[in-house]
Structures are given as C-alpha cells and as structure tokens.
Amino acid sequence: MARDGSYGPQDLDLKLPNSARLYDVFLGGDHNTAEDRSLAERIRLNAPRWSLGAQLNRSFLRRAVQYMVEQGIDQFLDLGSGIPTVGNVHEIAQQHNPDARVVYVDYEAVAYNTARTMLADNPNATILHADLRDPAAVLDHPDTRELLDFSRPVGLLVVGVLLFFSPEDRPGELVRAYREQLVPGSYLAISQASDDDLPPDLQSEIDQVVASYERANEQLTLRDYDEVASWFAGTELVEPGLVHYPDWRSEDEELDDVQLSCRYGYVGVGRVS
C-alpha cells in the first residue's frame, strides 16, 4: 500500500524513493532518481544480498514465463510489472510465439509511462495504469478484454509485488479474485520475501532492508511459507513446488555461492485445476 494510503494509479513523485525505481536501480536500469539511488546504495551496503535477490527474482520471472510458454500459454496478465528492463514478459513470450499477448499492470507513473512508450508499436502487448487491488478495474478494462481471452488458459504473474502489500490489503483474497477468472490449465506464478529460518547474518540483512524501506513510498511485509502456499489454493504446484529463489528450475544458470545463499523468499508456479 502506498505510504499515504492512497489508492488507484499513483501520480509521479520523484522526491520519495520508490519501490519500482529502487528495483530498477538493483537491476542496473536508468529510470531512477538521486533519491532512489541513495537509498539503494544504503541497502546495498547493509544488505548486499537484497540487490542480488532482485536479480534472482527477475530471473525467476523469466524462467516462469518460459515454463508457461513451453506448456502452451500464449497470453499473460502481469500484475505489478515494474519499469521495463531486461527480459520483459512480452519479449520472452513473443520470442517463442510472436502472437503471444501480454497485459501489464502497474500503478507507478514511471513504470507505466516507460512501458507505454516501449509498447507503442506492439499490438499484442499493453500496459494499464491501474491499482491491482481493484481486480474489476484490471479485469474489466477494455484493453484487457481486447487482448486476453479468459475462455482459454492465461499465465497470471504476481511476481515481486505482494511483499509491498500489508495484511490490510488482503493479498490472499486478491490473488483468489484473479485466479477465479482463470480456466483450468492456466498458470499462476508468485514470488514473496520471507524471513523463515534465516541464519543470523541474513536475518540482520533483511531487518536492515525492512528498516530502509520505511523511507520509501511502500513498506515491506515478509511472510511465512504457509501463508504464501495458501495463495496457490485452486492450483497444483508444479515441480519443484514452493521453494527459495535459487531452487526453482535454475539448472541452466550458473549460480555462485552468494547467490545460492539468497534464501529469503519463496517462489512457485501453480497450474490451475
């Protein structure tokens, strides 16, 4: 939830460090401000594995989309899609199938404007400037209805976003509201930060990250395994289940020991049953 409690698409605010732009810094992007970079640097110093985790999150997104494409999915709804960067969903999907369709949703102005410009000539992908906490605004939007056919399987991506939702945002109910629109054979991908069972050094890093995000537009909520697993109700988790970032089908990637130690989040993909 936005710090000021506001709801709906957010106006451009370049003064307050912003979660979308912090993520952009961690991924090496250039759509960020001096305020964003300063807070990102502080996080990097205190918790180097958090920025590494951002990259692992992004590669999970890529692997999840690739997996879904291999299962025949050719239309995606990407909630909290972020500022376009390396490996955007439409690029991954359309590389495999040029006709694949993607609807991105983000309420942050830089994410929306950058994606809108990038997608101007792409008839099969669009972005909504919308708050995903309003499923009707997303699902009933004319662009969503035009691009996505909900009578066929859809890939629903809720990656790297629910950690910014407080309990009052009722993330489980939100995921269910979207998932209920999906026919069997659709897929749901989720990632979520957690401090389950962390060794003391990593726990200390995560505590500092949570404290740092107090200065940003959105704060972090960590969650345990059972809560994240409950979000996959109505789906069957595909192998290897709900696991830490480095453990989800990362066989083709060379992960070093530091990356392998980034075990402060859960990722999974479920097949709608």
Ligand X SMILES: C[S@@+](CC[C@H](N)C(=O)[O-])C[C@H]1O[C@@H](n2cnc3c(N)ncnc32)[C@H](O)[C@@H]1O
Which residues form the interface with ligand X (CB under 6 A)?
19-20, 23, 57-58, 61, 80-82, 105-108, 111, 131-133, 159-161, 164
Residue 117: its H or E element: helix 109-118
Q: Return the ∠ at Cα 60 (arms to 211 and 22), rounded to 5°.
A: 35
CB nearer to ligand X: give 88 or 257: 88
Residue number closest to ligand X, CB atom:
82
Give Dmax (Cα) for the chain: 50
Task: DSSP letter for 253, please.
Answer: S
Distance CA 1, CA 162 (A): 10
Least distance between ligand X and beta carbon 29 (Å): 11
CB nearer to ligand X: give 115 or 272: 115
Residue 225 exposed, middle or buried by CB count within 10 Å (0-12, 13-18, 19+): middle
CB nearer to ligand X: give 61 or 272: 61
End-to-end CA distance of the chain: 30
CB nearer to ligand X: give 107 or 248: 107
Least distance between ligand X and beta carbon 208 (Å): 18
Least distance between ligand X and beta carbon 112 (Å): 9
Least distance between ligand X and beta carbon 265 (Å): 11
